Amino acid sequence: MNTPTAAAPAAATRPREEDRTAGARGALRETRRRRRTRALAVPAVLLAIAALLALLTLCFGSVRLSLDQVLGSLLGIRENGAVDFIVHDLAGPQVKAALCVGLALGAAGTIFQQLLRNPLASPDFVGISAGASVAAVAGIAVPAFAGASLPALAFVGGVVTAAAMYLLAWRDGITGYRFVLIGIGTAAFCTGVVGYLLTRTSLTEARAALHWLTGSIGQAGDAENDVLLVALIVLLPFVPVLQRMLRSIEMGDDTARGLGVRIEPTRLALIAVGVLLTSLATAVAGPIAFVALVAGPVADRLLGSARGGIVAAGAVGAILCLVADYVAQHLLPVEVPTGVVTGAVGAPYLLWLIATTNRRGMGG
């Protein structure tokens, strides 16, 4: 007599459990949909802002132009010799360099930060930019390198320094903590070498070297700018692959191995991409400080749960470089290198980042 009575509540609870399960699945699908939407929308908006800033920079440079004149010259709709000269030969290369350098540094910075799982692990602090600087200053100070291209020397210096760091950090694999420590030591060593080289130069050579070391967009030629642009275009189709590689590494080595990921080849490929972008950007503009450090965290704040976007970080880097270069050229009483402006903005951010990281118990 009691069996049907006991079974009735159990049967009544099954639909409720199924409803809760279906509701949880629906909420999960909705969360994933929103994350995918945000992962696509945020980079698109940031790239659009960067493109708009580039157009405004051309309009409000040393010579004021209307947006119609700039677009007409860029699209080849209207022919005006004076406007074409300003857009294509005078201001255009500077804006293109700012866009490309910012994209490269922003993407490289977030790759290193995610790969090494450390918000301070940007190319500025792990020695790659410092290695490029040593090679470039050697091109100014050492007679044996006289006549060599500074951007080419900077690129070679960054690549060689990164290879040396990788070999020094290798102990049955690469860990982020060891790589960062070796990078900091390498950066300190390179800074000492640069200081020594500067003492061996004349006043004119030292002034030229210091201008390059501060970081200044627009000091490279068309060939270096075009190489960086081509590298970005070539790497663009591989961004989804790089993004998946970073996601797999972020899960931890054991989990990634369980999913069939080859850890060390994946890590080496990501480091190679980051080094390539950093070296090419440094070859074009010198070591622009703090752009690689700031771009990734800012993009992550905008992306929310879809954090870690390479394109979004690159777009933030492009916006930072465009704004900093415009301020350095047009809004200060005296024209200064771009790195002065990024350093003035980035140094307080670095102090804040170190303080908040230590409060969370992640500072070591």
Q: Do the domain assignments include residue 324?
A: yes
Note the pTM of the prediction, 2 decimals: 0.86
CATH number of the domain at 125, please.
1.10.3470.10
Domain of 324 in residue numbering reads as: 42-359
3-state DSSP assignment of residue 244: helix
Whether the CB-CB separation of 59 and 328 falls below 8 Å is answered with no
Which value, to the nearest 10 degrees, does the dihedral of the CA atoms of residues 91, 93, 97, 99 take? 60
Number of domains within the chain: 1
The string of pLDDT tens digits covering residues 247-274 is 888 777 777 777 777 888 888 889 889 9
What gap in Å lies between CA 107 and CA 97, rounded to an integer? 15
C-alpha 200, offset from chain centre: 33
Closest C-alpha among 270, 284, 296 to residue 349: 296
Is residue 16 assigned to a domain?
no
First to last CA, the chain: 68
Pair of tokens at residue 32: 């994933």
For residue 158, being part of any structural domain is answered with yes
Residue 270 lies in a domain: yes
**Is 63 part of a structural domain of the chain?**
yes
pLDDT digits (tens, 9 = 90+) for 156-170: 998 999 999 988 888
Which among 350, 219, 243, 241 is positioned nearest to 294, based on CA atoms?
350
Q: Is residue 267 part of a domain?
A: yes
Q: Which tens digits make up the pLDDT trace of 194-226?
A: 999 988 888 888 888 887 788 888 777 788 888
User: Per the domain annotation, does 11 fall within a domain?
Assistant: no
Please name which of 153, 128, 127, 129 lies closest in space to residue 140, comparing C-alpha atoms: 153
Inside any domain, residue 213: yes
pLDDT at residue 122 is higher than 70: yes
What is the pLDDT, as a whole number, of residue 364? 43
